[in-house]
Chains A and B, each alone.
Chain A
Amino acid sequence: MSDSVLSRRRLLLGSLALPFTISGCGRRLTSDPQVVNLFIQSDGDFLAFRPDEMTCRTGAMVHLTFHHSGKFLSALHNWVLVMPDKMEVVDKDAEKTDGEISPDDSRVIAWVPMCGKGETVMTQFIAPAPGDYPFFCSTPGHAVDMNGILHVTP
Chain B
Amino acid sequence: MKGRKKIPAVLASIGFVLMFAAPIWAAQLKSPDTVKTALRLLVQVSNDFKRQITNKNFARVPHEYMEYTEAADALRMGIKDEPADFKAKVETRLKAAVAAYQKISDMSAKATDPEPLMAEHAKAVTAMNAVFDLFPADMRPDPNLPPPGGRRGGKQ
**Structural contact, A52 and B150, CB atoms closer than 8 A:** yes
- Least CB separation from A42: chain B residue: B149
**Structural contact, B57 and A140, CB atoms closer than 8 A:** yes
Partner of B73, one of A48, A72, A75: A72
Residues in B neighbouring A143, C-beta threshold 8 A: 153-154
**Structural contact, A53 and B152, CB atoms closer than 8 A:** yes
- Least CB separation from A117: chain B residue: B70
**Structural contact, A144 and B60, CB atoms closer than 8 A:** no
B44 within 8 A of A: yes
Nearest CB of chain B from residue A95's CB, rounded to whole Å: 7
Nearest CB of chain A from residue B141's CB, rounded to whole Å: 11
Residues in B neighbouring A147, C-beta threshold 8 A: 149-154
B window 135-156: CB within 8 A of A = 147-155
- Bound Cα distance from A87 to B153, whole angstroms: 7
**Structural contact, B40 and A134, CB atoms closer than 8 A:** no
11 of the cross-chain contacts (CB-CB < 8 Å) are A46-B40, A47-B147, A47-B149, A52-B152, A74-B66, A74-B67, A74-B70, A87-B153, A95-B55, A144-B154, A149-B153
- B: which residues have CB within 8 A of A? 37-38, 40-41, 44-45, 48, 51-52, 55, 57, 60, 66-67, 70-71, 73-74, 147-155
- A: which residues have CB within 8 A of B? 43-49, 52-53, 71-75, 85, 87-88, 95, 134-136, 140-141, 143-149
